[in-house]
């Protein structure tokens, strides 16, 4: 997945109309898109309008105790809810109308949708977890790259409210972090001693 800060130019993202951006988040029965399923999906437009927020009934899983401990979604909460397949036209229509998909580890979310046969069209993708990593400034020695940090850490850094592990709340928080990162909204409570995302982009621009 493309790292926008390494291009040294995020002017396209900064100039996008908010209604051409959508933030995606899903909650699932587990971590493997080949065998696990989506339990909740949320799509929030760049201006904050909630386009979709639904619990999803899985087709093959009747329980998911480990995942349930994290996000709290029980089998009874999704009983009678629509399947992901039935939401496909609505989800794809949203993606057709945007230029940029934002998310936190959004490759994970998109892979679950793609495995279910859902296309996200020609939209570009901005993964906040990857883009924020050099701002957080932690090093992953095993992977030899900037370490990824939690959405809770990122949201706290920017002073964005978050109730973690709910698809809608996560999407709303991620969107707030995105706008703060690229300088379209004020970043609240950010440590002044830390480098900003725009600083990281500028450094790569100077290397071009």
Higher pLDDT, 143 or 126: 126
What is the strand order of the sheet 38-45 is part of?
50-55, 38-45, 21-28, 100-103, 124-127
pLDDT in tens, 79-127: 999 999 999 999 999 999 999 999 999 999 999 999 999 999 999 999 9
What is the pLDDT at residue 193?
A: 47
What is the pLDDT at residue 167?
A: 98
Tell me, rounded to whole angstroms, the distance of Cα 56 from its chain centroid: 18
- Measured distance CA(115)–CA(12) in Å, rounded: 29
**Confidence bin at 76 (pLDDT 50/70/90):** very high
- The secondary element (H helix, E strand) that includes residue 125 is strand 124-127
pTM for this model (two decimals): 0.95
What is the pLDDT at residue 190?
A: 58
The DSSP annotation for 82-151 comes to PPHHHHHHHHHHHHHT-SEEEESSHHHHHHHHHHTT---TT-EEEEHHHHHHHHHT-EETTTTEEPP--H
Percent of the chain with pLDDT over 90: 91
What is the pLDDT at residue 186?
A: 63
* Average pLDDT across the chain, whole number: 94
């Amino acid at each position: 997945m493309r790292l926008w800060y390494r291009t040294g130019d995020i002017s396209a993202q900064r100039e996008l109309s908010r209604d051409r951006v959508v933030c995606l988040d899903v909650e699932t029965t587990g971590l493997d898109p080949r065998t696990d399923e989506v339990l909740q999906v949320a799509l929030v437009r760049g201006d904050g309008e909630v386009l979709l927020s639904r619990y999803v009934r899985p087709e093959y899983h009747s329980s998911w105790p480990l995942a349930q401990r994290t996000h709290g979604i029980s089998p009874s909460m999704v009983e009678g809810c629509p399947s992901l397949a039935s939401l496909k036209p609505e989800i794809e229509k949203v993606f057709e109308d945007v230029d940029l998909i934002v998310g936190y580890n959004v490759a994970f979310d998109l892979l679950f949708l793609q495995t279910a046969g859902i296309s996200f069209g020609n939209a570009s993708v901005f993964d906040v977890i990857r883009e924020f990593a050099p701002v957080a400034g932690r090093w992953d020695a095993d992977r030899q790259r900037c370490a990824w940090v939690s959405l809770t850490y990122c949201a706290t850094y920017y002073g964005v409210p978050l109730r973690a592990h709910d698809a809608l709340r996560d999407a709303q928080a991620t969107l707030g972090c995105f706008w703060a990162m690229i300088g379209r909204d004020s970043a609240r409570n950010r440590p002044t001693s830390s480098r900003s995302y725009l600083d990281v982009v500028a450094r790569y621009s100077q290397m071009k």
